[in-house]
């Protein structure tokens, strides 16, 4: 998973990017994240809250890191003539120099990168570049996408870009970024999309509509629904979705919402239940779409993680299996979840899942990014 992006963070923060697993090298990244402010951009160590890098040169709206490398793609807020929201600057934090620039006719709303591709999302187009030569490879015409909603899987073996395919329904266009062609279109929701995320290996896509009551997970290769989770009964805005890192089926999916809660869904136990159900009498006569509705939620909620209405974004940094010492069988999993809120806090939680009904959360650390010193809990 490459990272997180959004716009207009309160108290001067504009956008942040949090690194994830390096899909090419197959290793866990050092924990760090970048934020853009009215004065410039900063990079923090997510384990200590220490400020690792700072450049105060004006207001920015986008900072996107290329995995754990020193390469950033940055976009200005337009408050200074030299920092146009229509210009991308590729910036090297090691040398402190700008490498290349790209200019566009309208404001840049999102950027995604891996070791081979650079994707730029505008309000009605997306451009695909070779990241080494900055040669344009393809232009994707899209529906009006004023929020720059997109999802990206950085794996070179399953590199997909997801974009809204409709302004009236929750349809998703999936585009193969390495092979440069449209892969499929998925009609995921009745209402327009509010959030989506691809697993790091490109196998699954999770979506939520503007209603925010149902989160669906589809298998990308076959464009078929695999899971349908109920977040709640009342509408809520889903701010972010994140899969746990995995080379196969992700263990966990998390979502943040306008209620201030963090929702965790266990895909692993959902698969186990489905396997048991399909071998039984009901599983043989009830269609899958119906049995999805009969599934237990495999769902837990951490309430009041952020103030209601304050935007928040979360990523699952790590998932470990927990084995039974007597049998060496994996009985549970433990996830490390990092969250950044628009009122200036960075939080890291440990989520332990023993079975479909036993979830436990623990706040490991908390940093207040608007002060000179991090506040650790």
Q: Is the dihedral of CA 324, 330, 332, 338 positive or negative?
A: positive
- What pLDDT does residue 289 have? 43
Does residue 54 sit in helix, strand or coil? strand
Which helix H or strand E contains 290, and what residues bound it? Answer: helix 288-294
pTM recorded for the entire structure: 0.84
The predicted-structure confidence for 19-67, as pLDDT tens digits, reads as follows 544 433 333 335 788 888 888 899 998 888 888 999 998 999 999 999 8
Task: Provide the CA 343 distance to its chain's centre, in angstroms.
Answer: 19
Cα 18 from Cα 20, distance rounded (Å): 7
Residue with tokens 């200590």: 48
- What pLDDT does residue 74 have? 96
Residue among 341, 365, 361 at smallest CA distance from 353 = 361
The predicted-structure confidence for 176-230, as pLDDT tens digits, reads as follows 999 999 999 999 999 999 999 999 999 999 999 999 999 999 999 999 999 999 9
- What pLDDT does residue 124 have? 97
Taking residue 80's Cβ as centre, other Cβ atoms within 10 Å add up to 11
- What pLDDT does residue 69 have? 85
Cα 261 from Cα 330, distance rounded (Å): 28
Query: For each of the chain's 377 residues, which pLDDT tens digit applies?
Result: 233 333 333 233 334 455 544 433 333 335 788 888 888 899 998 888 888 999 998 999 999 999 878 999 999 999 888 899 999 999 999 999 999 999 999 999 999 999 999 999 999 999 999 999 999 999 999 999 999 999 999 999 899 999 999 999 999 999 999 999 999 999 999 999 999 999 999 999 999 999 999 999 999 999 999 999 999 889 999 999 999 887 667 789 999 999 999 999 988 765 544 433 433 443 433 334 433 443 445 889 999 999 999 999 999 998 987 765 555 555 578 999 999 998 889 999 999 988 666 899 999 999 888 764 443 33
Q: What number of CA atoms fall less than 13 Å from residue 251's CA on the CB side?
A: 24
Inter-CA distances, 268 with 118, 173, 241, 244, 246, Å: 32, 26, 17, 11, 12
């Amino acid at each position: 998973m490459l990272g997180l992006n959004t716009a207009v963070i309160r108290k001067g923060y504009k956008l942040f990017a949090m690194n994830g697993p390096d899909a090419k090298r197959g290793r866990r990244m050092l924990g760090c994240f970048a934020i853009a402010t009215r004065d410039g951009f900063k990079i923090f160590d997510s384990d200590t809250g220490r400020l690792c890098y700072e450049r105060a040169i004006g207001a920015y709206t986008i900072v996107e890191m290329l995995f754990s490398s020193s390469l950033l793609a940055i976009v200005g807020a337009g408050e200074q003539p030299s920092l146009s929201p229509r210009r991308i600057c590729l910036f090297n934090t090691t040398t402190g120099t700008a490498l290349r620039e790209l200019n566009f006719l309208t404001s840049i709303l999102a950027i995604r990168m891996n070791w081979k591709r650079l994707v730029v999302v505008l309000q009605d187009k997306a451009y695909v570049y070779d990241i080494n030569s900055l040669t344009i490879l393809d232009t994707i015409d899209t529906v009006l996408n004023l929020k720059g909603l997109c999802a990206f899987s950085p794996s070179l073996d399953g590199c997909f870009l997801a974009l809204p395919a409709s302004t009236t329904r929750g349809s998703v266009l999936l585009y193969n970024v390495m092979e440069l062609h449209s892969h499929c279109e998925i009609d995921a929701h009745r209402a327009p999309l509010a959030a989506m995320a691809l697993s790091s290996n490109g196998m699954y896509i999770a979506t939520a509509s503007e209603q925010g009551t149902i989160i669906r997970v589809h298998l990308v290769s076959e464009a078929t629904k695999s899971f349908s989770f109920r977040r709640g009964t009342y509408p809520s805005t889903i701010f972010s979705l994140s899969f746990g890192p995995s080379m196969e089926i992700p263990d966990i999916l998390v979502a943040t919402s306008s209620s201030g809660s963090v929702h965790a869904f266990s895909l692993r136990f959902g698969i186990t239940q489905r396997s048991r159900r399909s071998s039984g009498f009901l599983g043989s006569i009830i269609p899958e779409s119906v049995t999805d509705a009969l599934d237990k939620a495999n769902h837990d909620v951490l309430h009041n993680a952020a103030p209601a209405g304050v935007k928040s974004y979360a990523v699952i940094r790590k998932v470990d299996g927990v084995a039974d010492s007597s049998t060496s069988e994996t009985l549970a999993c433990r996830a490390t979840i990092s969250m950044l809120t628009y009122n200036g806090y960075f939080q890291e939680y440990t989520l332990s899942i023993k079975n479909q009904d036993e979830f436990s959360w623990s706040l490991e650390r908390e940093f207040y990014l608007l002060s000179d010193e991090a506040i650790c809990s």
